[in-house]
């Protein structure tokens, strides 16, 4: 058991927590997709992560939050894309995430784009990807969701498709197994999703989904630039989604980039360089929706200070992915604990009371 734990711990480069059981991290010696598979394999052995959950900082009453009526123990969530086929939902939660987003799941299995399609940029603590939804499709995800029902109250599923019928089918068949649906119209890597950037198409789709949904529906938006007319077009999408009846918005997906190191020449950037922009977008969206929908902030989040700033700007929760690649499995526990300490310093006992700049501790 000791040897096994040590192998698991080497998969991440985490030097500051109880998870750091080995000296030399293995993860950065593997190619990115290989490292991801190794992490998934490690998380696929639930016993270890289940045992570690007592130290994950998520049992602190102060951190409780609510997104569109979904009660969560902490506002820190795993973003879509890490657990594409819903294989490790419980283990991810046991690390200290308040919720996890399985998928993005598509109706049929897909091979994704040609490789290389995921590249680490360690100096920037960033990743470029052009994966294009490789996945096993809806059916295997449904089977796994059925086996993970004890976690249902903290699981969202991200769904996508290039025609409305595919998306409806994903919603109909998965919604009784999860606490919320995240509609992904914003991956920069899948030709065909952009049709839903047309406000008329988006409205039709969302109104149809709203008529059928039995759980809260979130829409994950593409990022918008700061100074561009595109900004108003994309902000209009948010207004359209809210007007059509969504319960929440996820702001935002990866930022489109062009880079010849990716086989298809372009993809999405994620990680640390996004944070500042995420903060600006949350301010924009807050001004736009004014409390009519819950906001989940996503992009470059890696510290409790980041979480504080985004919650203070109007988000009810955050999602992260890339910082978990660099920070390791102890990251959500560290963020939970530090956020709680910061709340103590500020003399507040509720997540909704977070305002202003993060206190220094």
Ligand X SMILES: Cc1cc2nc3c(=O)[nH]c(=O)nc-3n(C[C@H](O)[C@H](O)[C@H](O)COP(=O)(O)O)c2cc1C
- Out of 11, 42, 52, 79, name the contact with ligand X by CB under 6 A: 79
CB distance 328 to 19 below 8 Å: yes
- Out of 118, 209, 237, 307, name the contact with ligand X by CB under 6 A: 118
Exposed, middle or buried: residue 352 (CB in 10 Å: 0-12, 13-18, 19+)? exposed
Q: Does residue 145 belong to the site contacting ligand X (CB under 6 A)?
A: no
- The SS3 assignment for 231 reads helix
CB distance 173 to 214 below 8 Å: no
Residue that the structure tokens 């203070």 belong to: 312
Q: Which two tokens stand for residue 261?
A: 């190191």
Q: Does residue 174 belong to the site contacting ligand X (CB under 6 A)?
A: no
- The SS3 assignment for 288 reads helix
Residue that the structure tokens 């995420």 belong to: 278
Considering CB under 6 A, how many residues would be counted as binding ligand X?
A: 27
Establish whether 187 is a catalytic residue: yes
Q: Which range, of 23-31, 65-73, 303-311, 318-326, touches ligand X by CB under 6 A? A: 318-326
CB of 6 to ligand X, least distance (A): 26
Q: Does residue 299 belong to the site contacting ligand X (CB under 6 A)?
A: yes
- Out of 27, 58, 68, 127, name the contact with ligand X by CB under 6 A: 127
Of all residues in this chain, which one has the CB nearest to ligand X in the complex? 81
Q: Does residue 271 belong to the site contacting ligand X (CB under 6 A)?
A: yes
Q: Which range, of 74-82, 140-148, 210-218, 284-292, touches ligand X by CB under 6 A? A: 74-82
Residue (of 198, 214, 205) closest to 166 by Cα position = 205
Q: Which two tokens stand for residue 150?
A: 């004890």
Q: What is the CA radius of gyration of the chain?
A: 19
d(CA 188, CA 195) in angstroms, rounded, equals 12
Catalytic residue among 187, 294, 313, 316: 187
Task: Identify residues 11-30 at the interface with ligand X (CB under 6 A).
Answer: none
Q: Tell me which DSSP letter residue 110 carries.
A: B
- Out of 65, 74, 94, 104, name the contact with ligand X by CB under 6 A: 104
Q: Would you tell me which residues interact with ligand X (CB under 6 A)?
A: 79-81, 84, 104, 118, 127, 129, 131, 133, 158, 184, 187, 220, 253-254, 270-271, 274, 298-301, 320-323
Residues that are catalytic: 187
């Amino acid at each position: 058991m000791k040897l096994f734990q040590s192998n698991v711990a080497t998969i991440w480069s985490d030097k500051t927590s109880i998870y750091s059981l080995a000296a030399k991290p293995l993860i950065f010696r593997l190619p990115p997709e290989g490292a991801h598979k190794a992490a998934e394999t490690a998380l696929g052995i639930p016993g270890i992560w289940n045992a570690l959950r007592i130290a994950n900082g998520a049992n602190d009453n102060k951190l409780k939050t609510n997104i569109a009526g979904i009660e969560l123990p902490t506002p820190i969530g795993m973003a879509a894309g890490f657990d594409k086929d819903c294989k490790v939902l419980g283990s991810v939660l046991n690390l200290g995430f308040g919720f996890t987003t399985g998928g993005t799941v598509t109706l049929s299995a897909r091979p994704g784009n040609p490789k290389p399609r995921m590249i680490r940029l360690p100096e920037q603590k960033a990743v470029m990807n052009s994966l294009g939804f490789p996945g096993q499709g809806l059916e295997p995800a449904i089977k796994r969701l059925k086996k993970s029902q004890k976690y249902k109250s903290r699981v969202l599923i991200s769904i996508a498709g290039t025609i409305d019928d595919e998306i409806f089918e994903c919603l109909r068949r998965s919604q009784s197994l999860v606490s919320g649906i995240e509609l992904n119209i914003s991956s920069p890597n899948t030709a065909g999703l952009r049709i839903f950037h047309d406000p008329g198409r988006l409205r039709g789709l969302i109104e149809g989904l709203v008529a059928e949904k039995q759980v809260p529906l979130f829409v994950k938006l593409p990022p918008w630039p700061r100074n561009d007319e595109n900004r108003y077009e994309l902000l209009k999408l948010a207004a359209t989604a809210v007007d059509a009846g969504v319960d929440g918005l996820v702001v935002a997906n990866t930022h489109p980039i062009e880079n010849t190191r990716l086989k298809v020449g372009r993809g999405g950037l994620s990680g640390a360089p996004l944070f500042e922009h995420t903060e600006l977008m949350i301010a924009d969206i807050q001004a736009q929706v004014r409390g009519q929908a819950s906001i989940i902030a996503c992009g470059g989040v890696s510290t409790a200070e980041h979480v504080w700033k985004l919650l203070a700007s109007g988000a009810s929760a955050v999602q992260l992915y890339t910082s978990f690649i660099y920070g390791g499995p102890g990251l959500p526990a560290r963020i939970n604990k530090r956020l709680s300490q910061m709340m103590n310093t500020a003399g507040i006992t509720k997540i909704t009371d977070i305002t202003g700049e993060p206190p220094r501790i």
